[in-house]
Structure 1
Amino acid sequence: MSFRKTVKLACGLAGGSTVLLVAAAAAESRGYFGDKESVRASPWSRFSVLQAAQPTAWSAGKHTGASTGLAWDFNWDKREPSTLLTNGKKENASEDPSTEQENGKPKATRHILLIRHSQYNLSGSADHERFLTHLGREQAELTGQRLAALGLKYDILIHSSMTRATETAQIISKYLPGVELVSCDLLREGAPIEPVPPVTHWKPDAVQYHEDGARIEAAFRRYIHRADPKQTEDSYEIIVCHANVIRYFVCRALQFPPEGWLRMGLNNGSITWITVRPSGRVALRTLGDSGFMPPDKLTRT
């Protein structure tokens, strides 16, 4: 049997660094690495080949990012069933605590589709002057068509009360007949929290972060949470709002540092899809999906 066939068979049966050492020794004896002088001079010496081939000792610090040491908080929405049990005071003292907890467990998954408003008139000074541009209306039509094409049973369409979000939602609703349209002031655009790292082109004052941050956090707590135990079927809810709100929601829902919200970019009319499981697990299915739009319709203003 030839040397190459022998090595191939040995590697297939045994594997590991021991086989490589044996093969390298045999190769050296047969001159596969060349004469000694050339081995010393070449960077592809038998020693460097073996060093590259052998797996190094595993070290978490070398091969992974630094761990924060923070575990997933399953009670992030304060709806973990075990924490909702009354403290020793039951209306029905005969009820088994385990049965009560089982009955209080959510059973449905909530799907929350966050839509960024379409392009609007940037020259407007007041909110009512910041209406959708012609391109913005086209974008909203495309988003509405995309949501309809998904074929999902939408439960509600909630939107920010600002003009650009209201107009976007109204256009989208044409493609979703029968879906209730609801306006909410909590979803208005704002400065949720001072971003890290900071940016030079946008610097709200401290009072704006203080006021907007509390409102946007309130919106998060109202809309992003696991299903109520009484909900028996999965739900699909659409929220039309703003880039800052959506990015903050994503960070909070995934338990990422909320200060990182400005590191993400979202196109106008894009779809961000979050799922909240009955267990409290959260998954980000899409972030700023706008692949359904032609390239010449894409904007981020």
Structure 2
Amino acid sequence: MSFRRALALAACGLAGGSVLFSAVGVGKQPAHGAGGDAETRSAGAAPAAAGLLLLPPPASCPAAPGWVERPAGGGGYWDSNWDRREPLALINRKKKNEETGEEELASRLDHCKAKATRHIFLIRHSQYNLDGQIDKDRILTQLGREQAELTGRRLASLGLKFDRIIHSSMTRATETTDIISKHLPGVKKVSTDLLREGAPIEPVPPVSHWKPEAVQYYEDGARIEAAFRNYIHRADAKQEEDSYEIFVCHANVIRYIVCRALQFPPEGWLRMSLNNGSITHLVIRPSGRVALRTLGDTGFMPPDKITRT
């Protein structure tokens, strides 16, 4: 592969606008009027100048996801304002006290900064009756009830002060929540339609055994994205202590949330697999940084109790 070809591929990988690369070691340059290299002389390509080569991304480059804003170190990306709670984004920088100047700006920034860490525990519902034709008939199986008991015991054993349990309004999630909550007395339960199961976004690569209608992605995707935006974000500036919250919902919802929170391509959600009753632990720091502590943990269950239906 020629060096210029490698540069073109690198430009594609960055999927940005025109990308500037150092041309040191490019090799012998074509003589003036010699026609040049077809790969670097395509329409729209800028000429080399002052030891630098400017290459536009090839037409085949996929566009970067809309929620990616700027490049970070190591060739990756991190949008520090992914939850729209970055302090600089919350204040009107044009509004400035002429007397106090920068001190006023620093005070306003400090007022908007998060101080606490949020711990998000995403629980997949337990095994349920797959033969049910409507939601109210899709109740937990006996094994599913045992799984929920084990999950509840595991959460209780962590010794954390959980603030609330938010759960999908679907029957299997509600029943799982009711069993778990017996092990966490006093923790408030909140039901929401936003966390109901659905098709978040068309997966890449596609699968042959599961192909919802395009309208389902359009409708479910907007709702599940709304759930992400509503519940997954850094702590409010008024929150003084770290919080621990439980969300009982569904595999598709959890996998999509994990991809979005880590700023991975959300189309890859179906590449992950989650067991029934599993625990996924996300940590959101005051800075907006997000870490995945565990994904689909069922190590607390005996092997004969583990299912993935």
Could you tell me how far apart the structure 2 residues matched to 1:221 and 1:87 are?
A: 25
1:238 equivalent in alignment to 2:246: yes
One-letter code of the match for 2:251?
A: A
Partner of 2:185: helix, strand, or coil?
Answer: coil
**Distance change >3 Å, CA 86–CA 271, structure 1 → 2:** same
1:183 equivalent in alignment to 2:186: no
TM alignment of 1:72-83, pairs within 5 A: 72-83=78-89
Instruction: Tell me by how many angstroms 1:91 deviates.
Output: 9.6
TM-score (ref. length: structure 2)? 0.74
What residue is the counterpart of 1:28 in the other structure?
none
One-letter code of the match for 2:220?
A: D
What residue is the counterpart of 1:88 in the other structure?
94
**Distance change >3 Å, CA 212–CA 91, structure 1 → 2:** farther
Q: Where in structure 1 are there 5+ consecutive unaligned residues?
A: 1-59
**Distance change >3 Å, CA 147–CA 92, structure 1 → 2:** farther
What residue is the counterpart of 2:63 in the other structure?
none
Partner of 2:78: helix, strand, or coil?
Answer: coil
Partner of 1:96: helix, strand, or coil?
Answer: helix
CA contact (8 A) 2:97 2:104 kept: no
Pick from 187, 212, 218 the counterpart of residue 204 of structure 1.
212
Offset from partner CA, 1:104-132 (integer Å, 9 cap, x none):
11010000000000000000010000000
Partner of 1:187: helix, strand, or coil?
Answer: coil
**Distance change >3 Å, CA 123–CA 85, structure 1 → 2:** same
What residue is the counterpart of 2:162 in the other structure?
154
What residue is the counterpart of 1:256 in the other structure?
264
Partner of 1:273: helix, strand, or coil?
Answer: strand
Pick from 91, 115, 118 the counterpart of residue 107 of structure 1.
115
* RMSD value, Cα: 2.0
What residue is the counterpart of 2:235 in the other structure?
227
Partner of 2:110: helix, strand, or coil?
Answer: helix
Could you tell me how far apart the structure 2 residues matched to 1:77 and 1:159 are?
A: 21
What residue is the counterpart of 1:18 in the other structure?
none
What residue is the counterpart of 2:127 in the other structure?
119
Structure 1 stretch displaced more, 291-300 or 91-100: 91-100
**Distance change >3 Å, CA 91–CA 157, structure 1 → 2:** farther
Instruction: Tell me by how many angstroms 1:70 deviates.
Output: 4.1
**Distance change >3 Å, CA 285–CA 92, structure 1 → 2:** farther
Instruction: Tell me by how many angstroms 1:103 deviates.
Output: 2.1
Instruction: Tell me by how many angstroms 1:98 deviates.
Output: 1.0
CA contact (8 A) 2:117 2:243 kept: yes
TM-score (ref. length: structure 1)? 0.76
Could you tell me how far apart the structure 2 residues matched to 1:88 and 1:134 are?
A: 61
Could you tell me how far apart the structure 1 residues matched to 2:274 and 2:206 are?
A: 18
Q: Where in structure 2 are there 5+ consecutive unaligned residues?
A: 1-5, 15-74
One-letter code of the match for 2:182?
A: K
1:194 equivalent in alignment to 2:231: no
What residue is the counterpart of 2:274 in the other structure?
266
One-letter code of the match for 1:206?
A: A
One-letter code of the match for 1:232?
A: E
**Distance change >3 Å, CA 291–CA 86, structure 1 → 2:** same
Could you tell me how far apart the structure 2 residues matched to 1:67 and 1:255 are?
A: 16
Number of matched pairs: 239
